[in-house]
Amino acid sequence: MASISDVVGVQQKSIGQPLKHSLKFFFTTSSEVKNFPDFVVVGLVDEVPLGYCDSISNTAEPKQDWSKKMIEDDPQHLEWYTQRCLLNQYNHKAQIYILKQQLNQTEAVHIFQRMNGCEWDDETGEVNGFVQFGYDGEDFIAFDLKTLTWIAPKPQAVITKHQRDRDRPNNEMWKHFLTQRCPELLKRYLALGKSSLLRTEFPSVSLLQKTPSSPVSCHATGFYPHRAMMFWRKDGEELHEDVEHGEILLNHDGSFQMSVDLNLSSVTPEDWRRYECVFHLSGVKDDIVTKLDKTVIRTNCGKTGILTLPVIGGVVGLLLLLAVCITGVFIWRRRDNGFRPTNSSDSSSSDPSSVKDAALN
């Protein structure tokens, strides 16, 4: 049986590969979470927030200048998203109620999530799609687009898998959305927002070190698009040991930042010249290579404030993402292309009717 990672892994493989674009929708429904909307959905084009809706406003809200212009020219598009927001909200809240009853759970904090979308290669025309559900931060069930069947990662979800496998019309609906409707929307959004979504911006790259004994961090900020890779290499060969890769974060201006740390505790000063940091931006031929040179490392040893800028930039970027979209996926993080476990187990079943409108179509 194929794994969930096999099905939804397409969303991470885009990093480092040129010419692939994505449209993704993230849903989070919660119960007993104070001071937080109990339903949030966000759409992203190439990881850039397209629009947002939650159970407080109950109205879809565009988040980019080009998406606002799109709504002005086509008000029905906004109405369509708003209707989908309301319908999914009611269905997903019912899901949590059903799962709590099935698992005999108390009125504690519970999270039900869904992520679905598509990727399109504008060179080959290849389209891939994914649908995945999670409960309390763990994988629950995912759709296999090739076989039009569902994958259950745990025995508790097998009943739901069989229910949904038998619902052929619903599975065909998912196929249509993932292979037809979603790519059509993606192409439309790329055309409308091409001045920003299809731009290329190169980063500034710095070497940072907190103390002389700390790892050296190669930090790149201000690049676009997010499809980028950064790594350390020695004598021209990529390093995998003593290296720690950070996540790609969103900056306040819509660009991205990332870092990769190198532990030099076992490296002699004479060997430093053999190391270099490489930044690769998808679709760009030439890489940015930064030699490991002690004279160019920025450090706060004996000073204050020098290393705070990248950190602040990351915090601002995270806060922006929180305000725009991460509120919709605050439990979901990339962990083998799945959901991160919390303090609750997987579900045993789910109401198949809840995905009748699940594709936002």
DSSP H/E element including 27: strand 20-31
Strands in 48-54's sheet, in edge-to-edge order, are 61-62, 48-54, 39-45, 20-31, 110-121, 127-135, 138-144, 149-151
The tokens describing 56, both together, are 């407080």
- The answer to whether residues 44 and 23 touch, using CB atoms and an 8 Å cutoff, is yes
Rounded Cα gap, residues 116 and 11, in angstroms:
10
Please give the pLDDT value at position 320: 39
The tokens describing 130, both together, are 């994914």
Rounded Cα gap, residues 275 and 305, in angstroms:
27
Residue 108 neighbours by CB distance under 10 Å: 11
State phi, psi for 22 to the nearest 5 degrees: -135, 150
Q: Which amino acid is at 351?
A: D
| Among candidate residues 133, 129, 172, the one with its CA nearest the CA of residue 22 | 129
Rounded Cα gap, residues 177 and 361, in angstroms:
7
Number of H helices, E strands in the chain: 9, 18
| Among candidate residues 222, 262, 268, the one with its CA nearest the CA of residue 246 | 262
Q: What's the whole-model pTM score?
A: 0.70
| Among candidate residues 341, 1, 342, the one with its CA nearest the CA of residue 155 | 1
Question: pLDDT tens string for the chain (361 positions)?
Answer: 444 333 333 333 333 344 689 999 999 999 888 888 999 999 999 988 999 999 999 999 999 999 999 899 999 999 999 999 999 999 999 888 887 877 778 778 899 999 999 999 988 899 999 999 998 889 999 999 999 999 999 877 888 899 899 999 999 999 999 999 999 999 999 999 998 888 899 999 999 999 988 999 999 999 998 889 999 999 999 999 999 999 999 898 889 999 999 999 999 989 999 999 999 998 788 999 999 999 999 986 544 333 433 433 443 343 334 433 433 343 344 444 565 443 333 333 333 333 333 334 3
Q: Could you write out the DSSP letters of every residue in 94-150?
A: HHHHHHHHHTT--SS-EEEEEEEEEEEETTT--EEEEEEEEETTEEEEEEETTTTEE
Rounded Cα gap, residues 58 and 86, in angstroms:
7
Residue 202 neighbours by CB distance under 10 Å: 14
For the chain, list the domains and their CATH numbers. Answer: 4-196+325-355 (3.30.500.10), 204-318 (2.60.40.10)
Rounded Cα gap, residues 278 and 267, in angstroms:
19
Q: At what angle do helices 65-73 and 75-102 cross, to 10 degrees?
A: 110
The tokens describing 156, both together, are 């508790």
Q: Which amino acid is at 102?
A: Q
The tokens describing 127, both together, are 């389209």
